[in-house]
A and B are shown apart, each in its own frame.
Chain A
Amino acid sequence: MSPHRDARTVSLSDPEEFLLPTSLAVLFATVSMTLVPALVLVWGWRRGFFRDLDGQSRVIFDVRDWQLVRPWESTAERLDRALSHGTPLAPTPGEWGGAGADESAR
């Protein structure tokens, strides 16, 4: 590799001069970004972050989420929800990220 890193002073006649540092800079970063997640995965596995995946999938819900009545659900689905999670609750304004009645009246 040339000691001079100024583009104006580097000879274009020797492509190897460019290819080696190209490979090293990107290669090192790439390998790091591939191996580090692998090591974190192993660490996480040993720490137990992947046990009880079913529990993990439900961590975003609170009791209210299960009980909310969703207007798009069929009667049977609502009954199922009520039997499983108790008294149904009405959604609040903007519950689904929208603007109320007009959204469902389309």
Chain B
Amino acid sequence: MSAPPTTIPRGKPGLEPGEIDAIAASRGLAPEDLDVRIRADASSRWAVLTLYGVAIVWLLVGSVFGDIASLKLHWPDFLTRQPWLTFGRVRTAHLHAVNYGWATAALIGTSLWLMPRLVHTELKGVRTAIIGSALFTIGIAVGIVAVLMGYNDGMEWLEAPRYVAGPFLVVGGGLIGLSLFQTVAARKTEHLYVSVWYILGAFIWFPMLYIVGKWPTYVGVESAAANWFFAHNVLGFWLTSMSLGAAYYFIPKVLGRPVYSYQLSVVGFWSLAMFYSLNGMHHLVGGPLPTWMITTSIVASVFMFIPVVATGVNLHMTVVGRFGALRYSPTLRFVVIGALCYTAVSLQGSFTALREVNRLTHFTHWTVAHSHVGGYGFVTFIAFGAMYYVVPRLVGHEWPSAKLIRWHFNLVLGGIAIYVVSLSWAGVLQGLALLDPQLPFQVSVERTLPGLYGRSLGGIILTLGHLVFAYHFWIMVRMPELARRTRPPFHDAQPVLYTAEATADHERESHKRGGT
């Protein structure tokens, strides 16, 4: 069986009406059914593929910087002759490359692909989105080069110089957002699926956060407050929003069943919207800020149980009983693990915000491990899953190698597991040593060494996984002939069996579910 994929023909931005009919006829479908989906994919194709390509380049660059920074922690004489390779610059470049270059670009690309499908229309302002993507990419590149040259605004997550990188990021992100809002305004469906709320929310919240975070007049402790207001909220309102929007689409879509409880998804979104903005100050427990401010933040962090449990339960219950699907769908494998990590990192964050826990974990490697459960286990896994689903629909053929997908999955899963476990353990040991007044500071450093070796090992394994993914993406997009030649035979779907045994099975299951 070799049915043509329901993807757009290569080499053109749009489709003629006759082409829809031809593809639909070959699939035995009504033209209007395919029309929406194919036109939606065709409209976003160039912007999405460009963003995905850029994201993967930054993923590789960011991985190398991350590995260098990690090695320097237990190998301090490594690469010290060049100022641009010193820890302060390399670590910052890593953070910018992976958070803005990789995760943001990959999730914006996914959002641009999702939105037209969600509102049953084509992407509006395609050129606006492409120009915005280009400017955003330039902004990231300029920011990272500036950081490596030693120009730095001095606020974590906001180090890229505001007057150099800022204009590109603001204008670029604004143009992409404009395209998305135009698309929603032109929607052809009455309903707004929960993913639409998440994506639109992200593009409303991020400019507010960026303006507050980058406002140039902060001094002293103001900077710390504004810094963590931005740095924590950019996770919850930007990366989390787009990631959950994607998870709410891909899990039900692959399984072919609606989400477990749509009511819970609504509760999850609106409680995130209302409670999350108060969270950031819990990073400053013990700092020179008003006590009420910190306490309010801790209370809000505990309140986060509501959206987290609502979302976690909802996504997990959608998959429960269908875990067999993870064997067949790499998208589902990545996205489901991403959803699990969302629940884990959020609950971990709520507990870590409590003063007694924070006393142990603050200023330790625990925080770095925690941020990687969120930034990698949650956000990056969902981005990988989304790309495995989206790219075949844009380039017109499936991924060339199941083996490479398995290598990628196993490497990144193993790498992040080693990274998080070793660094969390090191963080606890470090915290205990720091709290013990009998121990010299040196002891707290020495106790982290095994964890730091684990961190470097995990990071290098992650980089290998990224290389596999980048190579696979390159074959997929740039070498279509090779991709087609290496494609395994199309998997035949098992036929539906209308046998007495099948009917009996069906009746038994219906009876179990309370059916008649």
Contacts and interface: CB of A to CB of B under 8 A. Distances in A.
Given A92-B5, A98-B399, A19 B219 contact: no
A18 B218 CA distance: 10
B491 A82 contact: no
A104 B327 contact: yes
Interface of A is mostly: helix
Q: Which of A61, A78, A106 has the most CB of B within 10 A?
A: A78
Contact of A26 (B229, B488, B509): B229
Contacts of B399: 94, 98-99
Contacts of B217: 5
B270 interface: yes
A31 to B, nearest CB: 9
Contacts of A32: 208
Contacts of B273: 37, 40-41
A98 B402 contact: yes
A37 B501 CA distance: 53
B220 A18 contact: yes
A61 B235 CA distance: 29
A97 B288 contact: no
Interface residues of A, number: 73
A53 B262 CA distance: 6
A64 B256 CA distance: 10
Given A69-B496, A79-B502, A102 B488 contact: yes
- Specify which of A26, A74, A92 lies most central, judged by the most chain B CB atoms within 10 Å of its CB: A26
B405 A103 contact: yes
Interface string B180-222: 0000000001011111000001000100100010010111111
A90 to B, nearest CB: 4
Contact of A65 (B191, B219, B256, B289): B256
Given A72-B322, A82-B496, A101 B491 contact: yes
Interface of A: 5-7, 10, 12, 15, 18-19, 21-23, 25-27, 29-30, 32-34, 37-38, 40-41, 49-50, 52-66, 68-82, 87-94, 96-104, 106
Interface of B: 1, 3-6, 27-30, 33-34, 36-37, 117-118, 120, 189, 191-195, 201, 205, 208, 212, 215, 217-222, 225-226, 229, 233, 237, 249-250, 252-256, 258-259, 262-263, 265-266, 270, 273-275, 277-278, 280-281, 288-290, 293, 322, 324-325, 327-332, 385, 388-389, 392-393, 397-406, 487-498, 501-503, 505-506, 508-510
